[in-house]
Amino acid sequence: MRRYSTRVGLVMFAVAVAVAAGCAAPKTDRGVVYQTSTISALLEGVYDGSLTLAELRKHGDFGIGTFDALDGEMVLVDGRFWRVRGDGSVESPPLDETTPFATVISFEAAHTLRADGPFNLADLEHLIDSAIPTRNLPLAVRVTGTFRYVKTRSVPRQTKPYPRLVDVAAKQPTFEFRQVRGTLVGFRLPPYVQEINVPGYHLHFLADDRKGGGHVLELSVEDVVIEVDDSSAIYVALPADEAFGAADLAPKAAGEVERVET
Ligand SMILES: [Zn+2]
């Protein structure tokens, strides 16, 4: 299984390199999941921003990621970027800020589900999985509701020499919120994106009052509206900088993405 997903990941990498070398890029980003860099590069500490938020926004109005020097968790919703810092504060970053890793889409809800709940994270995932059973195509997921409880984490800005992501994540600050209205923003990606992105669900939270958010660890939510946008294309843009070029991106021990991103 591991061998299989690794091989597919390398095929995707080769396709992305071909695109960067001059083959035609998609004419429209409608329905295209666009990402910059790869999760394996982030795991290896390639944290220098390689794309501005202004550039990233040309490829989507909805998504998640991080910022230059791993300075917080990104939430992009309704075309507006938010940064949840390592101290838990939330700000709207300038568009000349850069990102080392982000995944976005021009979100259009193809399916909408409404349910009372309360649901925990596994319930919510099960609900979406029941509605969209195939795991083989990417799905953007937007959930609004009343969160009885949500536990998130963020990451503090890093300094060089950058530590590996597993070492950062081992000391990540976490935050808890109760009885707050908010939105979950993220993706359910196929298992074969291993090495390129995060397989399965990857959700970030943003409180409606913009006073909290982060990478979701646990939750209990009720009065939910789930919107999903299914896609049949993933475009991987690769940084042409020295840090990405020099990183050792050979597949590593299994489990690091799970330890860092779930
Ligand atoms: Zn995250």
Q: Give the contacts of 237 (CB within 8 A, at least 6 positions apart).
A: 16, 20, 34, 35, 36, 37, 51
Distance 251 CA to ligand 1 centre (A): 20
Give φ, ψ of 42 to 5 degrees.
Answer: -65, -40
Ligand 1: centre distance to CA 216 (Å): 7
Asked whether the beta carbons of 182 and 207 are under 8 A apart, the reply is: yes
Q: How far is the CA of 23 from the centre of ligand 1 (A)?
A: 31
Neighbours of 206 (CB within 10 A): 23
Tell me, what's the pLDDT at 259? 77
Taking the centre of ligand 1 as the mean of its atom positions, its distance from the CA of residue 212, in whole angstroms, is 14
216 - beta bridge partners? Answer: 152
42: enclosing H helix or E strand? helix 39-43
**What backbone phi and psi angles, to 5 degrees, belong to 183?**
-135, 140
Place of tokens 């059973």: 133
How many angstroms from the chain centroid is the CA of residue 97? 17
Torsion sign (Cα): 220, 82, 188, 127: positive
Helix (H) or strand (E) holding 8: helix 2-20
Q: What is the pLDDT, as a whole number, of residue 260?
A: 78
Give SS3 for 129.
helix
Give the pLDDT of residue 262.
Answer: 66
**Is residue 74 within 8 Å of 64, Cβ to Cβ?**
yes
Instruction: Kindly report the backbone phi and psi dihedral angles of residue 251, in degrees, each rounded to the nearest multiple of 5, phi listed first.
Output: -55, 135
Backbone angles phi, psi at 172, to 5 degrees: -70, 135
Distance 217 CA to ligand 1 centre (A): 9
Residues 6+ away with beta carbon under 8 Å from 222: 116, 117, 118, 119, 145, 146, 148
Q: How far is the CA of 102 from the centre of ligand 1 (A)?
A: 9
Can you list the residues of the chain whose pLDDT is less than 70? Answer: 1-30, 253-254, 262
Q: Are 38 and 17 in contact (CB under 8 A)?
A: no
The token pair at 8 is 């597919």
